[in-house]
């Protein structure tokens, strides 16, 4: 009767339970982590791709009792996961690990901590990890088909490390389309996916395939780097060279010419990842309360979200041999 009267009075006062107080009673922090790997250079660290995903996570958590803790994973932490205080001291109830550059060994150690975890822009084979990704392979296939339809037959790809899951899948998408067309696909891998590495990859690609008329990059930063390197060498984009990026970051539309790319619904990925993490937390609570068995925990899911080709000014019809680029014709006309 006393409990009933307390509940009745709480309802009359529109009482809302305090998350901090409830956390003290249940050993929960009501904090969730969003972690990316710390980048060596500032331009890579400020890549807006994961920031937009994080906004989707925040949008979802704003409707829950949880708040978001954001951090970078340093090399020290990645080399010694036991030093990761957020897990060691149980400062979070679950986490989202975002990026293909987070080592598998670290992810496996985090999974052994039994904290609910969702991977974003990554996949870990033969594990019980939950993942949310854009359709990397399908998007790259669309990009390759776009270049083929424009008449290009000498297409190259510039990519980051081979062991990054999203890089690997995007290269596979290009490879599938070019194989279907009976064409070779020269590929250059570099150790990062930044504007600077895109410039270096462009130079390396010209060594192995000097006659390329189109380039597909695994992300927009590399594409912009290649575009700048081509322009610095006197090549006109797209008259002499077509370039496609991937991700549709804000910089892509502001470039000159604007970058053709694959739009990855980044905010939607964040929303889906946060919803999945909340579901995992709910399932874990059910187990802890004795309402289910260990087998009732949600089975691993690999959610793939469709991407869309955005055609802009960096791709164009293959120029036939012996004809001048449109840009040169315009320059000549203006000079009179």
User: Residue 308: how many CB atoms within 10 A of its CB?
Assistant: 13
pLDDT of residue 27: 66
pLDDT of residue 236: 97
| Of 39-53, 113-127, 143-157, 306-320, minimum mean pLDDT range | 39-53
Handedness of CA 273, 276, 281, 287 (dihedral sign): negative
Residue 335 predicted with pLDDT over 80: no
* CATH level 2 (architecture), domain 136-263+309-335: 3-Layer(aba) Sandwich (3.40)
Domain assignments of the chain as residue spans, ordered by start: 2-134+266-305, 136-263+309-335
Residue 196 DSSP class: H
N- to C-terminal Cα separation, the chain: 96
Is residue 276 very low, low, confident or very high in pLDDT (cuts 50, 70, 90)?
Answer: very high
More confident residue, 98 or 125: 98
For 209-245, how does the pLDDT look when each residue is reduced to its tens digit (9 = 90+)? 999 999 999 999 999 999 999 999 999 999 999 999 9
The closest of 112, 110, 309 to 122, measured between CA atoms, is 110
Which phi and psi angles does 16 have, rounded to 5°? -115, 125
Distances (CA, A) of 47 to 17, 73, 159, 277: 38, 15, 16, 24
| Of 55-59, 88-92, 281-285, minimum mean pLDDT range | 281-285
The whole-chain average pLDDT of the chain stands at 86
Residue 111 predicted with pLDDT over 90: yes
Q: 266-288 vs 48-61: helix axis angle to the nearest 10?
A: 50
More confident residue, 335 or 300: 300
pLDDT of residue 48: 81
| Of 243-252, 255-264, 319-328, minimum mean pLDDT range | 319-328
More confident residue, 320 or 181: 181
The DSSP bridge pattern shows strands 308-310 and 261-263 to be: antiparallel
Q: Name the residue with tokens 């901090």.
A: 20
* CATH level 2 (architecture), domain 2-134+266-305: 3-Layer(aba) Sandwich (3.40)
Are domains 2-134+266-305 and 136-263+309-335 of this chain identical in fold? yes
Residue 94 predicted with pLDDT over 90: yes
Tell me what percent of the residues of the chain surpass a pLDDT of 70. Answer: 81
The DSSP bridge pattern shows strands 155-159 and 187-189 to be: parallel
Is residue 286 very low, low, confident or very high in pLDDT (cuts 50, 70, 90)?
Answer: confident
> Cβ distance 256 to 283 under 8 Å?
no
């Amino acid at each position: 009767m006393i409990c009933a009267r307390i509940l009745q009075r709480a309802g009359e006062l529109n009482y809302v339970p305090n998350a901090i107080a409830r956390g003290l009673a249940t050993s929960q922090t009501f904090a969730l982590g969003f972690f990316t790997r710390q980048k060596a250079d500032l331009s890579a660290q400020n890549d807006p791709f994961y920031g937009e995903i994080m906004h989707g996570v925040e949008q979802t958590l704003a409707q829950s009792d949880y708040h978001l803790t954001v951090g970078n994973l340093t090399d020290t932490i990645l080399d010694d996961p036991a030093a990761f205080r957020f897990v060691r001291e149980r400062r979070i109830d679950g986490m989202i690990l975002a990026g293909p550059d987070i080592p598998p060994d670290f992810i496996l150690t985090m999974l052994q901590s039994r904290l609910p975890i969702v991977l974003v822009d990554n996949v870990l084979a033969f594990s019980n990890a939950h993942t949310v990704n854009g359709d990397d392979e399908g998007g790259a296939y669309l990009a390759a088909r776009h270049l083929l339809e424009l008449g290009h037959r000498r297409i190259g790809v510039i990519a980051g490390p081979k062991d990054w899951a999203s890089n690997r899948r995007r290269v596979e998408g290009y490879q599938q389309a070019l194989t279907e067309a009976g064409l070779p696909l020269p590929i250059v891998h570099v150790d990062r996916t930044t504007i600077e590495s895109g410039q270096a990859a462009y130079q390396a690609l010209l060594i192995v395939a000097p006659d390329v008329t189109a380039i597909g990059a695994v992300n927009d930063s590399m594409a912009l780097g290649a575009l700048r390197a081509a322009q610095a060498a006197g090549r006109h984009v797209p008259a002499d060279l077509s370039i496609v990026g991937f991700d549709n970051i804000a910089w892509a539309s502001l470039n000159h010419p604007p970058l053709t790319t694959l739009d990855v619904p980044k905010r939607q990925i964040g929303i889906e990842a946060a919803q999945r993490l909340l579901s995992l937390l709910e399932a874990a609570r059910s187990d802890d309360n004795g309402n289910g068995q260990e087998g009732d925990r949600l089975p691993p899911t690999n959610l793939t979200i469709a991407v869309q080709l955005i055609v802009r000014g960096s791709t164009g019809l293959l120029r036939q041999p012996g004809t001048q680029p449109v840009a040169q014709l315009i320059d000549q006309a203006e000079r009179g």
